[in-house]
């Protein structure tokens, strides 16, 4: 809940406003989008990556803004106040880096304990496993991330994995008012670099893994790794839970004093949480563990080695928060697979269909390796690559599909402004025998083809979109869902 304060009070950490220039205007609501400004709200005008909010100051004033806080790139303009139509425009240099702090001053959290999860893959699964387990332990937990914000039974769609700083604080404050004692947040590399969670106090920071993704934004794997690393080195994390089976994680763990290392293999020191035995079955994964929290064994109804890692990371996180170990062990069997994350759809006498969000080389490889353990027939894979994104991963993903699956169908993902034909050409270039791949640009028809030509013992991995219910073609966002395709083609009801 917002704690209204004057503009002078709100901005006092960054501006030394003299008594004669004191601004007694009360700030109750901050808005980054001028279209959402209403009478009495305060417009925040920052230079974005696509749109410059300062171009919309006049529009915000016309819509009733009581003040404008604007970014300036000129140091001598920092702290200056310009009046326009009797409305003050307060200029602050590097304003975008302070938004998280400004929002947290206006809407401070009191009882909502935050957990941050970062990494290339696994963020959604780990946050939702944490939320499920806390709920089963009688502690109300919300999530923020790719599949939506809120409580698991009623997630609200989110535009980005990590929203902008004002949105994050607004959502966290609202969730606290609704009874959230914990919130597990997916924290993206973009969100970290852009300071969107800079002011948040995290009880735990979790690192899952790092593999190729977002190079169109970061430029190199080194910069991408530094972005992820900054959660632990430049943000407020009381403790760190880190997957040391990942080489970047292993390196990071050596730097972090409060680190709880997590591994699927034995750690001689006994620190952290590590698996001493992992058994994979068609009904799930049985994990035996040891480490600083003692020993135990539990079974969860999920599949795949990477899910064993996700589960162990979530488990270690909750133990680090003081959640009773026996409570977690007793409820582990009630955990459920996450929407669009290795989600199983099956009908009698037909191949099993697995819908997964895997859209990076590493994620696709892990998903296929996981399913090979469970597949008694042929393993099929259907996937595409997004347009206007990192082209380098296209041949890599096709090569992985060819090496691990028995049948490969190349299709469209979100082609955006690129030609789907050219995207597929880039993918085919990575295959040793490209003529063996089937190309079907329509995702629904691609799955229909696979089901017509497969057997009951086969498994079809439909990868890339997971929970998403849209496809971006040219400049249009069209309704499309892999989950709905699977339900329809298998003649199942949801």
CA-derived radius of gyration, the chain: 24
- The residue count of the chain comes to 494
Q: Which amino acids are annotated as binding site for ATP, given as ranges?
A: 119-125
- Residues facing residue 118 across a β-bridge: 207
- Nearest alpha carbon to residue 426 among 478, 384, 375: 384
First-to-last alpha carbon distance for the chain, in angstroms, is 37
Map residue 379 onto helix, strand or coil.
strand
Q: Give the CB-side neighbour count of residue 291, counting CA atoms within 13 A.
A: 26
- Rounded CA-CA distance 243/295 in Å is 19
Question: Phi and psi for 345 in degrees, rounded to 5?
Answer: -125, 125
Helix spans in 25-120 (H): 57-62, 95-106
In the block, tokens 């302070």 appear at: 98
- Residues facing residue 149 across a β-bridge: 144, 156
446's enclosing H/E stretch is: helix 443-453
Q: Which amino acids are annotated as binding site, given as ranges?
A: 32, 34, 119-125, 160-162, 188, 194, 196, 389, 413-416, 464, 468
- Rounded CA-CA distance 129/270 in Å is 25
User: CA angle 32-35-40, nearest 5°?
Assistant: 75
Helices 361-372 and 393-404 pack at an angle, to 10 degrees, of: 10
Q: Output DSSP code: residue 399.
A: H
Q: Put residue 483 in one of left, alpha, beta given phi > 0 → left and psi -120 to 50 → alpha.
A: alpha
203: which 2 tokens? 């009880």
User: CA angle 387-230-264, nearest 5°?
Assistant: 85
- Residues facing residue 26 across a β-bridge: 6
State the greatest distance between any 2 C-alpha atoms of the chain, in Å, as a whole number: 80
Residue 252: Cβ within 10 Å count: 24
Torsion of CA 119, 187, 479, 356, to 10 degrees: 30
Q: Which amino acids are annotated as binding site for meso-2,6-diaminopimelate, given as ranges?
A: 389, 413-416, 464, 468
- Nearest alpha carbon to residue 233 among 118, 86, 142, 395: 118
The distance of Cα 324 from the centroid of its chain, to the nearest Å, equals 27
């Amino acid at each position: 809940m917002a704690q209204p304060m004057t503009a002078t009070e709100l901005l006092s950490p960054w501006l030394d406003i003299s008594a004669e220039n004191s601004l007694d205007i009360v700030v109750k609501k901050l808005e980054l989008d001028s279209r959402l400004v209403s009478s009495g709200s305060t417009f925040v005008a920052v230079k974005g990556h696509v749109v410059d909010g300062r171009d919309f100051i006049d529009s915000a004033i016309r819509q009733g803004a009581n003040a404008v806080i604007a970014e300036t790139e000129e140091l001598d303009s920092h702290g200056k106040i310009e009046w326009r139509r009797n409305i003050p425009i307060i200029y602050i240099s590097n304003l975008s880096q302070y938004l998280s702090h400004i929002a947290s001053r206006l809407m401070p959290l009191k009882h909502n304990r935050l957990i941050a999860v970062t990494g290339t893959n696994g963020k959604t699964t780990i946050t939702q496993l944490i939320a499920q387990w806390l709920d089963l332990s009688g502690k109300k937990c919300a999530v923020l991330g790719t599949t939506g914000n809120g409580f698991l039974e009623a997630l609200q769609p989110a535009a980005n994995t990590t929203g902008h700083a004002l949105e994050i604080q607004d959502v966290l404050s609202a969730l606290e008012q609704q009874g959230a004692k914990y919130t597990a947040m997916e924290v993206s590399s973009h969100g970290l670099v852009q300071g969107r969670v800079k002011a948040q106090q995290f009880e735990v920071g979790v690192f899952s893994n790092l593999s190729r993704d977002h190079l169109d934004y970061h430029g190199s794997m080194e910069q991408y790794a530094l972005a992820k690393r900054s959660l632990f080195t430049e943000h407020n994390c009381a403790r760190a839970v880190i997957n040391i089976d990942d080489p970047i994680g292993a390196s990071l763990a050596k730097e972090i004093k409060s680190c709880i290392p997590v591994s699927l293999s034995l750690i001689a020191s006994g620190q952290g949480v590590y698996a001493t035995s992992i058994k994979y079955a068609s009904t799930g994964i049985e994990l035996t563990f040891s480490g600083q929290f003692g020993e135990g064994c539990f079974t969860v109804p999920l599949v795949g080695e990477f899910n064993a890692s996700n589960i162990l990371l979530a488990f270690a996180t909750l133990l680090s928060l003081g959640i009773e170990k026996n409570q977690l062990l007793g409820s582990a069997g009630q955990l459920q697979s996450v929407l669009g994350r290795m989600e199983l759809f099956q009908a009698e006498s037909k191949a099993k269909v697995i819908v997964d969000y895997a859209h990076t080389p590493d994620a696709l490889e892990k998903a296929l390796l996981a399913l090979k353990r469970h597949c008694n027939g042929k393993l099929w894979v259907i996937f595409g690559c997004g347009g206007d994104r990192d082209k380098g991963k296209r041949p890599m993903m096709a090569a992985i599909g060819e090496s691990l699956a028995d049948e490969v169908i190349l299709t469209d993902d979100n082609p955006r402004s690129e030609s789907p034909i050219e995207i597929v050409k880039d993918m085919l270039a990575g295959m040793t025998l490209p003529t063996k791949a089937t190309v079907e640009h329509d995702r629904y028809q691609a799955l229909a083809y696979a089901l017509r030509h497969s057997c009951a013992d086969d498994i079809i991995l439909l990868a890339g979109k997971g929970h998403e219910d849209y496809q971006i073609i040219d400049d249009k966002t069209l309704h499309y869902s892999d989950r709905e395709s699977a339900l329809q083609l298998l003649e199942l009801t949801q």
